[in-house]
């Protein structure tokens, strides 16, 4: 949050004075999930003479996917000063070298498959336009503080950080499903990596067996092929124990993202946001009162360019 406060101070002399409304972020529920379009879409807002384009991505790894096409068309139709992407912290600063190194390693598609997902066209488009690429995530220690304050344990947070990566591993074809024998090694590596991120000792979910026991305690069955992506969804009314954890984490993330977007708009910038589709559903009830209704909502960014002049 300190980075956002710094941005607000920096842009304090700008003519815009939009007031953020994080309290209006919509809880993610099964009803809201049913209202979300099945594929990628976007909302475009007029903010004075500037534009906010919020791409609601369906997490994809195919070049021909609607997600990749929507991102490409956003760059083709609009010029951005700032691009805010999902998956890495804002504290890494503008145009972090490690993200472009990641794109170099994971951006070469074979038969149209791109392991790095939508991060690849997002980062490459920002670089081509000369826009500042920024992470849209709060620091993990800030998330940790907020989640622990709600009564969850460090083991809960670590366990969930690893669990939420399973859908990504499946998309990247590293495992077939959560019953794949390769999961054990991936979980072990993710536990070590996330312990470091969260500043936790080696005794917190020390290995795969501890993590698997944690999962079974939360969701009432062993980890395996029956795992469903819904289990890591931030459903406020979800039936899985891990949904409650996901909701706490999501609320902290979305509050941070909302404040960040408003800070950059107050700086009179053209802003592109690329986050998963549920985030736009959550953010619209907070963005619309601040910015007014979008001038376009849909998946045809060429039409948005005409509608949002």
Provide the angle, in degrees to the nearest 10, between the axes of the packed helices 97-106 and 119-129: 120
Higher-confidence residue: 28 or 4?
28
- C-alpha to C-alpha distances, 30 to 99, 138, 152, 184, 230, nearest whole angstrom: 33, 25, 23, 31, 10
CA 273 to chain centre: 10
Q: Which tokens in the block code for residue 22? A: 């994080």
pTM: 0.90
HEC readout, 118-154: CHHHHHHHHHHHCCEEEEEECCHHHHHHHHHCCCCCH
> CA-to-CA distance for 101 and 39, rounded, in angstroms?
28
Percent share of the chain, pLDDT over 90: 91
Structure confidence at residue 207 (pLDDT):
97
pLDDT score of 11 more than 50: no
Report the pLDDT averaged over residues 189-199.
Answer: 98
Yes or no: say if 304 and 296 are a contact pair by the CB < 8 Å rule. yes
Higher pLDDT, 162 or 12: 162
CA–CA distance, 185 with 247 (Å, rounded to integer): 27
Q: 85 to each of 82, 112, 267, how far by Cα in Å?
A: 10, 22, 18
Token pair 């062993």: residue: 222
pLDDT number for residue 29: 96
Question: How sure is the predictor about 106, in pLDDT bands with cuts at 50, 70 and 90?
Answer: confident
Q: Are 84 and 134 in contact (CB under 8 A)?
A: yes
Phi, psi of 295 (to 5 degrees): -80, -15
The tokens for 109 are 């598609």
φ, ψ (nearest 5 deg) of residue 19: -105, 125
Nearest to 44 by CA among 73, 15, 13, 12: 73
What gap in Å lies between CA 294 and CA 145, rounded to an integer? 34
Which positions ≥6 away from 192 have C-beta within 8 Å?
none
CA dist 126 and 113 (Å) reads: 21
Find, among 196, 185, 134, the residue nearest to 161 by Cα: 196
How confident is residue 13, by pLDDT bands cut at 50, 70 and 90?
very low
Give the contacts of 117 (CB within 8 A, at least 6 positions apart). 59, 60, 61, 168, 171, 172
pLDDT at 9 over 50: no
- Give one word for 93, left, alpha or beta, with left for phi > 0 and alpha for psi -120 to 50: left
Please give the average per-residue pLDDT across 164-178, as a whole number.
96
């Amino acid at each position: 949050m300190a980075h956002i406060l710094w941005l607000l101070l920096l842009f304090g002399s700008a003519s815009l004075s939009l007031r953020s409304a994080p309290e209006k972020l919509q809880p993610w529920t099964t009803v809201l999930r049913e209202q979300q379009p099945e594929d990628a879409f976007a909302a475009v807002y007029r903010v004075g003479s500037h534009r906010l384009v919020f791409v609601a991505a369906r997490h994809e790894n195919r070049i021909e996917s609607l997600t990749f096409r929507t991102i490409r068309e956003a760059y083709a139709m609009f010029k951005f000063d700032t691009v805010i992407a999902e998956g890495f912290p804002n504290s890494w600063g503008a145009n972090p070298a490690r993200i472009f190194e990641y794109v170099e390693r994971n951006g070469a598609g074979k038969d149209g498959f791109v392991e790095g997902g939508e991060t690849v066209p997002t980062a490459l488009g920002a670089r081509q336009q000369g826009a500042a690429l920024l992470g849209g995530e709060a620091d993990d220690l800030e998330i940790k503080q907020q989640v622990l304050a709600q009564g969850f344990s460090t083991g809960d947070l670590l366990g969930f950080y690893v669990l939420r990566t399973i859908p990504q591993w499946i998309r990247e074809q590293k495992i077939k499903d959560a019953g794949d024998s390769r999961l054990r090694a991936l979980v072990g590596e993710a536990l070590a990596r996330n312990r470091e991120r969260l500043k936790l000792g080696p005794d917190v979910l020390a290995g795969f067996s501890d993590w698997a026991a944690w999962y079974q305690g939360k969701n009432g069955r062993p980890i395996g092929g029956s795992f469903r992506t819904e289990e890591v969804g931030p459903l406020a009314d979800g039936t899985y124990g891990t949904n409650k954890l996901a909701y706490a984490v999501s609320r902290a993330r979305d509050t941070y993202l909302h404040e960040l977007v408003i800070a950059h708009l107050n700086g009179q910038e053209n802003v592109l946001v690329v986050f998963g589709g549920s985030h736009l559903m959550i953010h619209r009830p907070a963005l619309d009162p601040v910015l007014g209704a979008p001038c376009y909502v849909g998946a045809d960014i060429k039409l948005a360019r005409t509608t949002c002049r």
